[in-house]
Chains A and B, each alone.
Chain A
């Protein structure tokens, strides 16, 4: 990668003025436009992290494709996990428009130099987890990502439009699975409640640390890469989810959760930020397992990628020979 300067480039005069004016007018920055190094690097970091999250995020649910208890659910899950691989592909492509390289970003993930969403370091314990991940995790992702459809960087914003559409679909599928399970047997209802208990707090942590300790937020908001603060998005997620939990007939595991008529929002408890930090630093329940799977798939596939490259080179050489002869 050629863009990983750690220091900001000096002001570029008219180029920088043009960039600032484009952002101020809410217009899009496109790949060929001049942009500050900090903007480029922030975007590469954010888009790569998002792409890695899609790819690692295939694992917790992917485990259940072979075990899904009906063929309809198997097809839905297969399609969802396939969509996630597709999202990873679009996002790596968006990062490539900024000068990054997919193979390099993959190495950074595998070597632990770039992160993915900490939510995927939690285990999936029953089939209800598939539904709860759809409802909470895709739901939180939608809250985070819908505003990114208006992100200032064009390729990222356009990728997000398509991704958000598919994720809305996944969220509805997840919620529909839970509705069906809640109408089923007592054992199924218990599975759903147990999954809700386990995923609620990690889902709230998906919005990131509180605003007063989120180091990169302010600049990203100034550049309109990011549109809302972590706490604002988290509060909206809670407000939207509470009535859905009531309709489903499950209890969200927070004794402090209640409607505050004065503020027009729900009050809710504080996530365990120490836990979030531990999981981000690599000490979550499944960090090692997730990375090991990704690493082994990549390493075991090396001979396949080498063969494809060698074949392409041979083809090119044969074509050239044919052209000369």
Chain B
């Protein structure tokens, strides 16, 4: 019966296997981009930057993945997964670029699965446990606003590959920031309980804001973004309280190692396997 041809052809060879297994409608953001590192770019510094930005994205995606089946509403299931998927996509591209430029030729999985916590360069805010929905929203707002400001600058980076990754990522991050901002306003303005939870989330985030601005100074853009949202939400601006240590230097909270143990467990148990 013609009804079932999809199932009947399952075992036949598919020339497009590699394409469909990535998902539908994915455009290759590196299509037509020359991957040679330009002469005026410091390859080691470029690789380090790609790893740091890749780690922020992977660790954030992992935390968002933990929300799956636990979100407050089905629309939020879809949205949080979608944001996680975007960030995972950014991590994969950034790791691949790191592997091309640090001289090791490693693939994306080597970075994700076969480095320990001390080798990760993500900011600590990304690795903190999810907490409640208010904490997730406050963190997402801060990180997406910060990453967007970053990526908008990186879109004109002298390395054409990083520039292309950043240009694609900026489009995604604008949506993430918008999503988080809308929820921040709803929760800040909504009920006494949601307002109280948002205030507490802001306090929890505050110690981790300082390190966001050490490498790249995008403070002005981010502060302007946050001011706009907190005003609309009837919330104060988060208080900046610096905390010693820096994720970018490999100094992490106690929360990163268990996150990585879960992420890396199966891959490390079967180092010879292909998936």
- The chain A residues found within 8 Å of chain B, CB to CB, are 55, 58-59, 62, 65-76, 78-79, 81-82, 85-86, 88-89, 92, 127, 135, 139, 142-143, 146-147, 164, 168-169, 171-173, 175-177, 180-181, 183-185, 187-188, 236, 240, 243-244, 247-248, 293-294, 296-297, 300-311, 314
- Segment of B20-28, B38-46, B238-246 engaged in the interface with chain A: B20-28
- Give which listed residue, A58, A147, A177, A244, contacts B77 with CB less than 8 A: A58
Cα A75 to Cα B84 in complex, Å, equals 9
Contact yes or no, A73 B275, CB < 8 A:
yes
What class of interface size applies to chain B in its complex with A? Answer: 35 or more
**Are A304 and B194 within 8 A (Cβ)?**
yes
Count CB-based A-B contacts (< 8 Å).
Answer: 197
CB of B51, distance to nearest CB on chain A (Å): 14
Q: Which residues of A contact B8 (CB under 8 A)?
A: 240
Residue contact A308 to B22, C-beta cutoff 8 Å: no
Q: Which residues of A contact B187 (CB under 8 A)?
A: 304, 307, 311
- The residue that A78 contacts in the complex, of B3, B85, B112, B132, with Cβ under 8 A, is B85
Question: 18 additional contacts, CB 8 Å, given A72-B21, A78-B88, A89-B74?
Answer: A66-B262, A71-B108, A74-B88, A82-B82, A85-B81, A86-B78, A143-B7, A168-B7, A172-B14, A185-B273, A240-B7, A300-B132, A301-B76, A303-B191, A306-B193, A311-B186, A314-B189, A314-B190
Question: Chain A residues with Cβ under 8 A from B75's Cβ?
Answer: 89
- Given A69-B267, A181-B275, A301-B133, answer yes or no on A139-B7 (Cβ-Cβ < 8 Å): yes
Tell me if B89 is interfacial: C-beta within 8 Å of chain A: yes
State whether B186 touches A173 (Cβ < 8 A).
Answer: no
* B237 contacts the other chain (CB 8 A): no
Chain B residues near A306 (CB-CB < 8 A): 190-191, 193-194
Using A71-B109, A85-B78, A297-B72 as known contacts, say yes or no to A176 and B17 having CB atoms under 8 A apart. Answer: yes
Q: How far is the CA of A230 from the CA of B138 in the complex (A)?
A: 49
Report how far A89 CA is from B77 CA in the complex, Å. 10
Dominant secondary structure at the A interface: helix
Indicate whether A175 sits within 8 Å of B81 (C-beta atoms), given known contacts A72-B21, A75-B88. no
Are A173's CB and B20's CB within 8 A?
Answer: yes
CA distance A150 to B10 in the complex (A): 22
Q: Which 6 A-B pairs have the closest CB atoms?
A: A301-B72, A307-B190, A307-B194, A304-B72, A82-B81, A168-B6
Q: Is the CB of B194 within 8 A of A88?
A: no
Are B92 and A69 in contact (CB-based, < 8 A)?
Answer: no
Contact call A311/B275, Cβ cutoff below 8 A: no
A135 to B7, CA, bound (A): 9
In the assembled complex, which residues on chain A have CB atoms less than 8 Å from the CB atom of B133? 301, 304
Within 8 A of A (CB), among B10-37: 10-11, 14, 17, 20-24
Instruction: Select which of B24, B92, B273 is within 8 A of A75 by beta carbon.
Output: B92
CA distance A162 to B79 in the complex (A): 19
B61 CB to closest chain A CB, in angstroms? 8
B65 contacts A by Cβ under 8 Å: yes
**CB-CB nearest in chain B for A303:** B193
Q: In this assembly, does B265 line the interface, its C-beta being within 8 Å of a C-beta of chain A? A: yes
Interface string of B37-79 (1 = CB under 8 A from A): 0000000000000000000001001100110111111111110
Bound together, the chains give a CA A88 to CA B78 distance in angstroms of 10
Chain A residues with Cβ below 8 Å from B273 are 69, 181, 184-185, 187-188
Give the residue among A65, A68, A73 with the most B Cβ atoms within 10 A: A65
- Cα–Cα distance between A75 and B22 once the two chains are bound (Å): 7
- Binary per-residue interface labels of chain B (181-219) against chain A in the complex, 1 for a CB within 8 Å, 0 otherwise: 000011101110110010000000000000000000000
Confirm or deny: B91 has a beta carbon within 8 angstroms of a beta carbon on chain A.
Answer: yes
B113 within 8 A of A: yes
Which one of B62, B108, B185, B274 has the highest number of Cβ atoms from chain A below 10 Å of its Cβ? Answer: B274
* B6→A142 contact, CB < 8 A: yes
Question: Inside 8 A of B65's CB, which chain A residues have their CB?
Answer: 65-66, 74, 78
Which A residues are CB-close (under 8 A) to B61?
Answer: 74, 78
Counting CB contacts under 8 A, is B270 at the interface?
A: yes
**A188 x B4 contact (CB < 8 A):** no
A306 to B14, CA, bound (A): 48
Nearest to B263 among chain A residues (CB) is: A66
Bound Cα distance A183, B273 (Å): 9
Find out whether the CB atom of A58 lies under 8 angstroms from the CB atom of B190.
no
Complex: how many Å from CA A168 to CA B270? 29
Residue contact A311 to B262, C-beta cutoff 8 Å: no
The residues of A that contact B197 with a CB separation of less than 8 Å are 303
The answer to whether A146 touches B270 (Cβ under 8 A) is no
B4 touches A236 (CB 8 A): yes
28 pairs from A and B in contact (CB 8 Å cutoff): A66-B263, A68-B266, A69-B270, A71-B108, A72-B22, A73-B275, A78-B65, A78-B68, A78-B84, A82-B78, A89-B74, A89-B78, A92-B74, A139-B7, A146-B4, A146-B6, A169-B24, A173-B20, A184-B274, A185-B272, A188-B270, A236-B1, A244-B10, A303-B191, A306-B191, A307-B191, A307-B194, A309-B190
Chain B residue with minimal CB distance to A59?
A: B69
Report the minimum CB–CB distance from A71 to chain B (whole Å).
5
Q: Point out the residues of chain B lying under 8 angstroms from A309, CB to CB.
A: 190
- The minimal Cβ–Cβ distance linking A325 to chain B, given in whole angstroms, is 20
The interface residues of chain A lying within 8 Å CB-to-CB of B68 are 58, 62, 65, 78, 81-82
Of A66, A72, A176, A305, the contact of B73 (CB 8 Å cutoff): A305
> Across the interface, which residues of B come within 8 angstroms of A294, CB to CB?
69
